Chain A
Amino acid sequence: MIEVGSLKARMESTPGGLKTEEYFVNMGPQHPSTHGVLRLVLKMDGETVREVIPVLGYIHRSIEKIAEHLNGRQIVHLTDRMDYLSSAMNNWAVSLAVEEALQIELNPRIETIRTIVAELERIQSHLLWWGVLGIDLGAVTTFFYGFRDREMITDILEETTGARLTLNYIQPGGLMFDIHPHFVKRVKEVLAHLKIKICEYETLLSENVILQNRLRNVGILTSEKAISMGSTGPVLRGSGVALDLRKQKPYGVYGSVEFDVPVGSVGDSWDRYWVRVEEIRQSMRIIEQLIDNIPEGKFMVMKPAKKLTLPKKSYFGQVETARGILGVYIQGCEKEEPHRVHFRSPNFNNLWVITQIAPGGKMADLVATLSTLDLVIPDIDR
């Protein structure tokens, strides 16, 4: 096969020969496959991407500044709006930090329900990602299948928490509500339903030759690069590093359940794809182990209006969201309002990976890579 690069060099070396020119395109902020208001400035050579320059800030809401005026309980609802697809996990991260600061001991019921809700949230997030990946690669139908099944999970969450997306369910010291009486029954129904549907997903997309060709060896992220870029979650695991906070520093009741960490081998888009699909199964496995024996107890261990005075110390709460490690840094100063709040968002680090792995690929590869990185833009901008 003739290398395009060498051909180009030959063309340019011949006097009066063909000349090609690199050009810039703006992908975004309004582009169907940037999933929000992300803007990528692309330096293109024909169809080939030469450089990617992300431009951020289109949805910067200064959550960190707002949080400096709110107390520990009020911050939680802001985190819903960061990574809106894993809002339960975001709430949990803040709650972890605040609970660590105030040394609140939780009962096993709270921990179990938190874990189940977080895993349900993870499944719905991955289902949405699966559907959107289809749309990015041109298979519009998968989008509807993914959303249809995700809808069942959001219905469960809605019944228990009163909201579909911005749950604000996990609060410092417990939960906003107790679980709904129908919760257990409906979760079981959904799990049974999903088990069948996942096989369908495999036939429709995973085994499809076109999808495999589109994802195989596209956007290869080696494990060294992934680590040095600080990427976490399925992106890092796709590169073959089994870093999962649920295993590493078990919070909730993750220490007592059995599950495997799916990892990739090459670190290309296919590995990231497969890791996410397998994570749905593993999450289902976790829920299955927990759903039958939710312990009895209170769902809130402190008075709902109790003052949360944070000591003058810094706390770092971490959870594994659907996209990686979310860290919440809270610096207290003997007041209800924290001195400084910082969110270490997984998407922020995962986004910059695109500058390293997209150049050299085709335009369509960039879309596939972006899609498998599974970015949620409000989480990057905060």
Chain B
Amino acid sequence: MGFLSREKISGTQVVGDKRISTVQAPRPQRKSFFFNLYFGTLSLLKGMRVTARYFFRPSTWVTQQYPENRQELKMFERYRAELTLKYDENGYHNCTGCKICDSACPNNSIKVIDREGPSGKQEIDRYIWRMDTCTFCNLCVMVCPHDALEMTGRFESSVLDRRLLVYQLNRYAGATKKNIEKSKDSESKDLLLKSFESRTFYEGAIPLSTSDEKGIFDGRI
């Protein structure tokens, strides 16, 4: 009884040489004036019961009060909000400046600038990431052969000027620790270590905004 029949109307349809099992949609039925009036009112009352149930059950309310719950708010560990270089406890990262992430980036948001190290080997000078064009596709993290990159969940990155969304990710320029340990030639190793010591540390990601750049900083230096 009622407007909708509860029973499932199964059927089959043939498309090409395949038989496809289907479920038929029931039609809402309308009959006499009083039938419609009775079941119409009944359906409305049933709907009202559903909403009333929620009204009286505060446990079902789901609102999160965002700025107040900052302490409890935890993003999932894979959440993609900010690209960072992984730093170990001593503050070393693994980036060698191989530029694989640079070429994998679909919208040119990553710019890796190399320089020639003291031993003649290429090493990282600056790792520049433009958050304003980044689509957080994770391809850079996926392709990185040295496991140097990761996406973190720091999502509060709004700024008032788009130019402030250009970051330098590496805190120091120079060869990675691994490369230094690998180099057998003790002379070059010393040379590398020397350059390594004189590295300059930066705190956190550094916005690269230069007001004299016309318009938006485009990553080309």
User: So, do A and B actually touch in the complex, CB under 8 Å?
Assistant: yes
> B143 at interface (Cβ–Cβ under 8 A)?
yes
What CA separation (Å) do A73 and B101 show in the bound complex? 13
What CA separation (Å) do A148 and B44 show in the bound complex? 23
B-binding residues in A (CB < 8 A): 70, 73-74, 76-78, 80-81, 141, 148, 151, 158-163, 166, 168, 171, 176-177, 180, 200, 203-210, 212, 216, 238, 241-244, 247-248, 260-266, 270-271, 274-275, 278, 282, 304-305
Nearest Cβ in chain A — how far from B142, in angstroms? 5
**Chain A contacts for B23, CB-based, 8 A:** 260-263, 278, 282
* Interface flags, B21-48, vs A, CB<8A=1, else 0: 1111111100000001001100110110
Q: Would you call B3 and A209 a contact (CB within 8 A)?
A: yes
Interface residues of B in 48-80 (CB under 8 A from A): 49-51, 62, 76, 78-80
Q: Would you call A305 and B100 a contact (CB within 8 A)?
A: yes
Most chain A CB within 10 A, of B24, B79, B80, is at B24
What CA separation (Å) do A203 and B54 show in the bound complex? 14
Q: Would you call A204 and B51 a contact (CB within 8 A)?
A: yes
A-binding residues in B (CB < 8 A): 2-4, 10-11, 13, 15-16, 18, 20-28, 36, 39-40, 43-44, 46-47, 49-51, 62, 76, 78-80, 100, 104, 106, 135-139, 142-143, 145, 151
What CA separation (Å) do A216 and B40 show in the bound complex? 14
Nearest Cβ in chain B — how far from A73, in angstroms? 7
Q: Would you call A265 and B79 a contact (CB within 8 A)?
A: no
| A151-B62 contact, Cβ under 8 Å, with A263-B22, A263-B23, A270-B25 | yes
Q: Would you call B22 and A242 a contact (CB within 8 A)?
A: yes
What CA separation (Å) do A158 and B10 show in the bound complex? 36
Chain A: CB-nearest residue to B2: A207
Q: Known A-B contacts: A203-B50, A243-B15. Give 5 more (CB < 8 A).
A: A159-B76, A162-B138, A262-B25, A264-B24, A274-B25
Q: Would you call B43 and A278 a contact (CB within 8 A)?
A: no
Query: Could you give 23 example pairs across A and B, Cβ below 8 Å?
Result: A70-B106, A74-B137, A80-B137, A159-B76, A162-B78, A168-B138, A168-B139, A203-B47, A207-B46, A208-B43, A209-B39, A209-B40, A209-B43, A209-B44, A212-B3, A242-B15, A244-B20, A247-B20, A248-B20, A260-B21, A263-B23, A274-B26, A282-B23
Q: Would you call B78 and A180 a contact (CB within 8 A)?
A: yes
**Chain B contacts for A180, CB-based, 8 A:** 76, 78
What CA separation (Å) do A227 and B93 show in the bound complex? 58
| A207-B76 contact, Cβ under 8 Å, with A77-B106, A262-B22 | no
**Chain A contacts for B24, CB-based, 8 A:** 262-265
| A247-B51 contact, Cβ under 8 Å, with A158-B76, A176-B138, A209-B3 | no
**Chain A contacts for B79, CB-based, 8 A:** 158, 162-163
Chain A: CB-nearest residue to B153: A162
**Chain A contacts for B47, CB-based, 8 A:** 203-205, 207-208
Q: Would you call B151 and A162 a contact (CB within 8 A)?
A: yes
Nearest Cβ in chain B — how far from A266, in angstroms? 7
Q: Would you call B78 and A207 a contact (CB within 8 A)?
A: no
Chain B: CB-nearest residue to A261: B22
**Chain A contacts for B36, CB-based, 8 A:** 209
Nearest Cβ in chain A — how far from B65, in angstroms? 16
Q: Would you call A305 and B76 a contact (CB within 8 A)?
A: no
What CA separation (Å) do A374 and B142 show in the bound complex? 34
Q: Would you call B4 and A206 a contact (CB within 8 A)?
A: yes
What CA separation (Å) do A159 and B78 show in the bound complex? 6
Chain B: CB-nearest residue to A247: B20
What CA separation (Å) do A81 and B145 show in the bound complex? 28
What CA separation (Å) do A112 and B16 show in the bound complex? 27
**Chain B contacts for A242, CB-based, 8 A:** 13, 15, 20, 22
**Chain A contacts for B26, CB-based, 8 A:** 274
Nearest Cβ in chain B — how far from A71, in angstroms? 9
Q: Would you call A200 and B137 a contact (CB within 8 A)?
A: no
**Chain A contacts for B39, CB-based, 8 A:** 209
